[in-house]
Amino acid sequence: MNPYNLSYDELEQKAKAIRRKIVVLNANSPAGGHTGADLSQVELVTALYFRILNCAPDRLDDPERDIYIQSKGHAAGGYYCCLAEAGYIPEDWLPTYQHADSKLPGHPVKHKTPGVELNTGALGHGLPVAVGLALAAKKSGSKRKIYVLTGDGELAEGSNWEAAMVAAQYKLDNLIIINDKNKLQLAGFTKDILNTDPLDEKWKAFGMEVHECNGNNIQSVVDTLEGLKANGKPNVVIAHTTKGAGISFIAGKPEWHHRVPKGEEVELALEELKDE
């Protein structure tokens, strides 16, 4: 079971707290960050860690824990902020993000950061490993579920589609693929760089059970994830998000892929994220 099991309102407050952490984290990083990608996934990781996942900070080695893989590893900053909020890592680690010898490097590293299940960053690696873990769980009779969060630009990597064929072949209905579909990658829009639409039809053609939700709305995310069924097909959730969601001057702006807030921008962002 999830140790928090928060209500929708409580989850929304957690999401806002995580966003505040993201702003400060990236502002203090000596090597920049991926502010837009960190912010687009907030409701997704919040719902997972505070309601959905059967895992907890005191059960990191539980063989029956659910596994979460942050395949879009460049959004490590947002992931670390969620782990800190959920008690997997100390809060005082956050100011060390991307500093020399930090336990919070620019991409997730399993042996450095408690709670991280897989080293990611080279896009297209998370889903293939998740498929292997889901297959192993099936063969061993485990009831655990494997969740993997991918970026939509990441789906241009062919390794994802090879993995999808394997997942469908072996009926891995313990696998949940979440697409953070924020429609931006690097310096532009995904549709202009390499259009992956229509994603729903592609996933269905590869044998997936496809669902869609508003990925920046907690209730939509939770209701979708809690409504998934094990019916012999892997589940894909296309989460429609906005890159930089939650901060008006960052949301939907391609330049914030690798920008971080500085000076007055930090104050403006935190003002927008104040508790009401």
Instruction: Report pLDDT for 199.
Output: 97
pLDDT above 80 for 63? yes
* The token pair that represents 161 in the structure block: 């589609």
Q: Phi and psi of 51, rounded to 5°?
A: -155, -40
Question: Is the Cβ–Cβ distance between 74 and 121 less than 8 Å?
Answer: yes
Question: Is the Cβ–Cβ distance between 196 and 156 less than 8 Å?
Answer: yes
CATH of the domain at 132: 3.40.50.970
- pTM for the model stands at 0.98
Share of the chain above pLDDT 90, in %: 98
Q: Is residue 1 part of a domain?
A: no
CA distances (Å), 248 to each of 8, 20, 171, 239, in order?
23, 14, 42, 20
Q: CB neighbours of 174 closer than 8 A, spacing ≥ 6?
A: 134, 137, 138, 143, 144, 145, 146, 230
pLDDT above 90 for 61? yes
What whole-number distance in Å separates Cα of residue 247 and Cα of residue 263? 15
Instruction: Report pLDDT for 187.
Output: 86
* The token pair that represents 137 in the structure block: 């769980």
Q: Is residue 2 part of a domain?
A: no
pLDDT band at 136 (very low <50, low <70, confident <90, very high): very high
- Structural domain of 225: 8-272
Q: What is the mean pLDDT of the chain?
A: 97
- Read off the pLDDT of residues 179-220 as tens digits, 9 standing for 90 and up: 999 999 988 999 999 999 999 999 999 999 999 999 999 999
What whole-number distance in Å separates Cα of residue 33 and Cα of residue 22? 10
* The token pair that represents 76 in the structure block: 């490590």
pLDDT band at 275 (very low <50, low <70, confident <90, very high): confident
User: Checking DSSP bridges between strand 235-240 and strand 209-214, what pairing results, if any?
Assistant: parallel
Instruction: Report pLDDT for 78.
Output: 98
Q: Is residue 47 part of a domain?
A: yes
What whole-number distance in Å separates Cα of residue 168 and Cα of residue 151? 20
CA distances (Å), 118 to each of 43, 114, 176, in order?
21, 11, 16
Q: How many domains does the chain have?
A: 1
Question: Is the Cβ–Cβ distance between 184 and 257 less than 8 Å?
Answer: yes
What whole-number distance in Å separates Cα of residue 18 and Cα of residue 113? 18
pLDDT band at 232 (very low <50, low <70, confident <90, very high): very high
* The token pair that represents 246 in the structure block: 């939650």
Q: CB neighbours of 157 closer than 8 A, spacing ≥ 6?
A: 123, 124
Q: Is residue 3 part of a domain?
A: no
Q: CB neighbours of 22 closer than 8 A, spacing ≥ 6?
A: 35, 38, 39, 42, 77, 78, 81
Instruction: Report pLDDT for 246.
Output: 98
